[in-house]
Chains A and B, each alone.
Chain A
Amino acid sequence: MAPFIIRRLFISFFVLLGATFIVYVLAASAGDPRSALEESTDPGKANRIAAMTRNLSLDVPIIPRYFAWLGGALGCLIGKCDLGNTASGAPVSGGLSVAMGSTLRLVVFALVIAIVVGVSIGMITALRQYSGLDYSVTFLAFLFFSLPVFWIAVLMKQFLAIKFNDWLKAPSIPPWVILASAAVTGLIAAGVVGGDRRRRLAAFGGAAIAVGLLMTYFAVTDWFAEPAIGPVAMVVMSAITAIAATALFAGFRSRVVLYATLVTAAVGVICYFALDSVLADPTILVIIGLLVLALLVGAGIGAAMGGLYRSQAIKACMLTAFGCGGLIFASELLAALPAYSAEVNGVVVATIGATTPNFSGNFWETTLDQLGHLLLPTIAIVLISIAAYTRYTRSSMLEVMNADYIRTARAKGLTERTVVVRHGFRNALIPITTIVALDVGGLIGGAIITETVFGWSGMGKYFNDALKIPDPNAVMGFFLVTGTAIVLFNMVADITYGFLDPRIRLS
């Protein structure tokens, strides 16, 4: 493996070098950054032009200028980074690191959601091939492929932010919304469950009634005016988490796993009551510490109770613990919502920027503030990338489910759950890991439009602003980061593929 990695590193380095040359020459010849100044009537014009010429070394021809830049950039390898100055004289690396942090915050969150949701949907549609659900999802995937981000973003600002905030001031749920959401959930449930007509009808009825009752409860109690996860809801939802985790990792035949996850959920409910004082105004470190503790406790319960199914029980209990922790976190957030809403004049879902200017509050309020700003750009990125993941997972899963070893697994008499999750899904994930790795590299610099539309001052906006001038040093700073990310993740994709699929490694 090592010679392979070293060879890849070596090639990647030169590929990146070539790419920087192309981008530098193109960016430097895209226009004269001084042209805007030359048209101005500012008396200090000559000085400012001279300053900009000095900052960007515009008096040097492009090719030597590239090598001067390259010399500074290569310094990054030995810890002395010099990416040159921007047109206004500030060092590139300073602005770039701020922008990078901001972009990562946006992209990581969105990517995780897109992968989880996209892969699950793709798997379900592959298992229910040629059903109504499959066709609807396929159509939606094509639609999302064809959506311009900037267009959908404006619609989201209008309907998910401005209209939603107005609605939240006096939340009332009309009967037709209850009926419609019940019907839609019922249809989705029937499509997911599949099988004969009676099974589908039962799924439709069950889901529709559950959602209808829930929505009616929300409407009657005016839940959205003061949202909270009460003790009853906490108990029910923890139990559901425990059951779902068991179904995913072990199936219900192995009772011990179910008991273990239920015990974990019970511990979670106790924490819900016990942790109030700790969670009044915590720091982010306390939250992370509690999360790690929850995972450890879950693993401990799974190990102690799992018996023969120890490894499945540990995983299922850790997932349950994570879910319960998430529920407690959400409940604390919701409790802080009315106070936060009053402080920002009801603008809960923000349309622009990363935080409300001059806003200060306790931990929960600042978290709400950040989440409210993250919501719309995250949805935009998720919508666009979810379509690709759904399609990839679907076709990869279909291919795997056609393989002979799946038939063998069925012939051995394994349950359908084991066949799908352990024999099918795991193998279907191999090509998807590669695509995810490639996507991560692309997304770090690829959120250009989303960031521009939502006024998010990350890498994308940095690039956009730099190119408007055009400022080659700033453009190159941007490209150095994104290009390195892409090259690195390309390598990661190759290596993980070799690692996951021994046929590639050994041939």
Chain B
Amino acid sequence: MSTEEKAAAAAAEAASGNGKPDVGSTAAEGLSIVARTQGQLVRRRFFRHRGAMISLTILVLVVLLAYTSIGFAGIPGWWIWNYYTPGKVVNRGAPTLSLWPTFLGGDGFAIGLHPFGQDDLGRDYFALTMRGAQISILIAFVVGIVGTLIGVVIGALSGFYRGWVESVLMRFTDVMITIPILVIAAVLGQKFGGAGPLVLAIVLGLVLWTALARLIRGEFLSLREKEFVEAARALGAKPTRIIFRHILPNTVGVITVAATLLVANAILLETALSFLGFGVRAPDTSLGLLVSTYQNAFTTRPWLFWWPGLFIITIALTVNFIGDGLRDAFDPRQNRVRG
């Protein structure tokens, strides 16, 4: 039994042992009952999920670092180099970042001129990695938004209206699920990869909604039979009102969790596509493209390989952990053994 459950049990015992109905006057200070809305409960549980909060902090820092350092969409950043101007290669392009303090025999904390080193053209590798992170994050979030929107619409329509609408939409979903994600993404990437990251992201979002649609459909199927929906219908509510005011708010948990996991998948999908050569193309760059370009440099210049990989893992890992925290927050019963 977890500590929270114990506290709840203790509170129940104290209340029942008391024998008096007026809890407020006799219950101990700490046991007074505070009314909380569903949203507040969820938020509290999420903020108490240590892994998710640490991940959220790290993710926000990474996003801030990526977008402020070299600037984005014409707005200049605070970093001195940009990611496209070649320069003179200093010291074989070795990284100048040093984190090892002097009293442990290191060089002390120093950022230096090129903290992540330089690539073979002398471009600053920190700026390049940041550009890669910008593009990868942008693609992942756009895919997440587009995929979630389509998934929710298709799932909601087929779950709510049933009948021929459901048959058509679900057969179409079945067809899309038959095509492996990487295959259809690669075929689309081959066609649209050259058109810029935003187009690529939207196109990928157009094929990544299948799992979400099935999930939302299931939720709608069970919710539309509930009494409160019947009550709303009896009061004369129109379908749009029932969908948006009564059913959709009850699926927010499922949607949020699924959308988060979709973003995590999209990061890995984009890097994989760029690695294979069907994603983002040069002269623009992404984390997957950087790993792909420098995978043979591992023995001689390992920093060209380490940094983009570490950023991919950090982003994917933190997003996955946030998704896990959200799931626990929305559905605390899951994965608990009865004590």
**Which residues of A line the B interface, CB within 8 A?**
11, 14-16, 18-19, 22-23, 26-27, 29-31, 129, 142-143, 145-151, 154, 158, 394-395, 398, 401-402, 442, 445-446, 448-449, 452, 463-464, 467-468, 470, 475, 478-479, 482-483, 486-487
Contacts and interface: CB of A to CB of B under 8 A. Distances in A.
B316 A146 contact: yes
Contacts of A398: 335-337
- Which of B178, B180, B321 has the most A CB atoms < 10 Å from its CB? B178
A11 B167 CA distance: 12
A172 B187 CA distance: 49
Contact of A467 (B175, B180, B187): B187
Contacts, number: 131
Contacts of A147: 313, 316
A145 B337 contact: no
A467 B179 contact: no
A23 B183 contact: yes
Interface residues of B, number: 44
Given A15-B174, A149-B272, A29 B180 contact: no
Contacts of B264: 145-146
Interface in B127-175: 171-172, 174-175
B338 interface: yes
A27 B180 contact: no
Given A22-B176, A146-B268, A483-B178, 9 more contacts: A11-B174, A142-B321, A146-B264, A149-B272, A150-B291, A154-B295, A449-B275, A467-B278, A478-B183
A19 B179 contact: yes
Q: Chain B: interface secondary structure?
A: helix
Given A30-B191, A398-B337, A483-B179, A146 B313 contact: yes
Interface of B: 171-172, 174-176, 178-180, 182-184, 186-188, 190-191, 264, 268, 271-272, 275-278, 288, 291-292, 295, 298-299, 305, 309, 312-313, 316-317, 320-321, 324, 334-338
5 contacts: A23-B183, A148-B275, A148-B309, A442-B180, A448-B186
A364 to B, nearest CB: 32
Contacts of B299: 158
Nearest to B334: A395
B320 A146 contact: yes
A442 B183 CA distance: 11
- Which of B180, B288, B312, B321 has the most A CB atoms < 10 Å from its CB? B180
A483 B184 CA distance: 12
A29 B309 CA distance: 33
B171 to A, nearest CB: 7
Contact of A30 (B187, B276, B317, B320): B187
A26 B291 contact: no
B183 A145 contact: no
Contacts of A15: 171, 174-175, 178
B337 A27 contact: no
A121 B47 CA distance: 30
Given A146-B317, A402-B337, A486 B188 contact: no
Nearest to A150: B275
Contact of A148 (B176, B184, B272, B320): B272
A23 B185 CA distance: 11
A448 B276 contact: yes
Contacts of B187: 23, 26-27, 30, 467, 470, 475
Contact of A446 (B178, B182, B295): B182
B275 A468 contact: no
- Which of A27, A464, A475 has the most B CB atoms < 10 Å from its CB? A27
Nearest to B173: A15
A24 to B, nearest CB: 10
B178 A26 contact: no
